[in-house]
Structure 1
Amino acid sequence: MSYTITTTIDAQFDDVVAAVNTALQDEGFGVLSDIDVQTTLNQKLDVDVDRYRILGACNPSLAHDGLAEDPELGALLPCNVIVYETDGGDVVVSAVDPEQLVGIAENPDLDEIAGDVHDRFERVIATVSVEFGTTVESE
């Protein structure tokens, strides 16, 4: 079962992060949190890992609609988009598939909202892919 929408890009990490942020903004999302996993693990555990960022994306209108349908949905928000380097030097961009995520709530009233977010995340990943000349994959 696929739970992410993913693309792999041959580009500079910071350029990809900037493109993801722009594409999210164009789809109505703000980034509520930006976790630099590399720095955090280095500071907390004194380990070195490749660059890895977790962007907590939220579309306020869609979040409001979802929370109105099911207040427990807040446990699944914000939706995460990750950007990380591979050992080969490529950069992976992967967004959670909201349809899969919301599926655990077993609330059909959330299906339309999850579908909307899914479509927007597909467009975000596609936009970033096109910008860097790659294709979208699902995992």
Structure 2
Amino acid sequence: MAYTLSTQVPLPYTDAIEAVRAALSDQGFGILTEIDVRATFNQKLGPEAGDAVGDYIILGACNPSLASRALAAEPEMGALLPCNVVVRRAPGAEATTIEAIDPQTMVQLSSSGHVQEVADDAGTRLRAALAAVSSR
């Protein structure tokens, strides 16, 4: 089962991060958290581990109105929030990969029609954000 929405872009890593931030914002998402995986690996595991993973950031994106609807339908959905969006570029890669959690994974854990509606809306918005970055 695929659990991410994904695209690759020829943008440099830092440019891709800024493009992703802008595209998510255009779709009503804010960034609540940011995890620099490479820096964390460097600090906790050593530079070899950081170099092996390459440039890698996890952005915790949240659209407040979608989150509110999901939590109203099922408060347990908070365990799946925010929506993680990854921007990564492996050592030697010619493209930067952007991946977002596919909101339909939430639906597989819930029987609520309201959760399905939220997942559909979130998926549409995340796909639009990825398409916007891909078209740059």
**Same fold by TM-score greater than 0.5:** yes
| Larger RCO: 1 or 2 (CA < 8 Å, sep 6+) | 1
Residue deviations 1:87-116 (CA, integer Å, cap 9, x gap) = 423100011110123322332321001000
Q: Structure 1 residue 18: deviation in Å?
A: 0.1
Match of 1:76 in 2: 80
State the AA in 2 paired with 1:108.
Answer: G
2: CA distance, partners of 1:84 / 1:102: 26
Identity among equivalent positions (%) equals 44
AA partner of residue 73 (structure 1): M
Deviations 1:35-61 (A, max 9, x none): 000000100111223000000000011
Q: Distance in 2 between matches of 1:59 and 1:51?
A: 25
Q: What is the Cα deviation at residue 2 of structure 1?
A: 2.1
For structure 1, the residue ranges without an aligned partner over 5 or more in a row are 132-139
Q: Corresponding residue for 1:35?
A: 35
User: What is the TM-score when the length of structure 1 is the normalising length?
Assistant: 0.90
Alpha-carbon distance in 1 for matches of 2:30, 2:108:
23
SS at match of 2:28: coil
Q: Is the 8 A contact 1:3 1:101 kept in 2?
A: no
2:105 is aligned to: 100
Deviation beyond 3 Å, 4+ runs, structure 1 = none
Structure 2 residue runs of 5 or longer lacking an equivalent are none
* Conserved 8 A contact 2:3-2:105: yes
Q: Cα RMSD over matched residues?
A: 1.1
- Once the two structures are overlaid, the 10-residue window that deviates more, 116-125 or 46-55, is 46-55
The answer to whether structure 1 residue 129 and structure 2 residue 134 are counterparts is yes
Alignment of 1:1-139 (within 5 A): 1-46=1-46, 47-48=49-50, 49-86=53-90, 87-131=92-136
SS at structure 1 position matched to 2:11: coil
Distance 1:58 1:78 in 2: 5
Kindly state the Cα deviation for residue 65 of structure 1 after the two structures are TM-superposed: 0.9
Q: 2:4–2:100: 8 Å Cα contact kept in structure 1? A: yes
Contact preservation (8 Å) 1:6, 1:93: yes
Alignment TM-score, normalising by the size of structure 2 = 0.91
Alpha-carbon distance in 2 for matches of 1:45, 1:65: 39
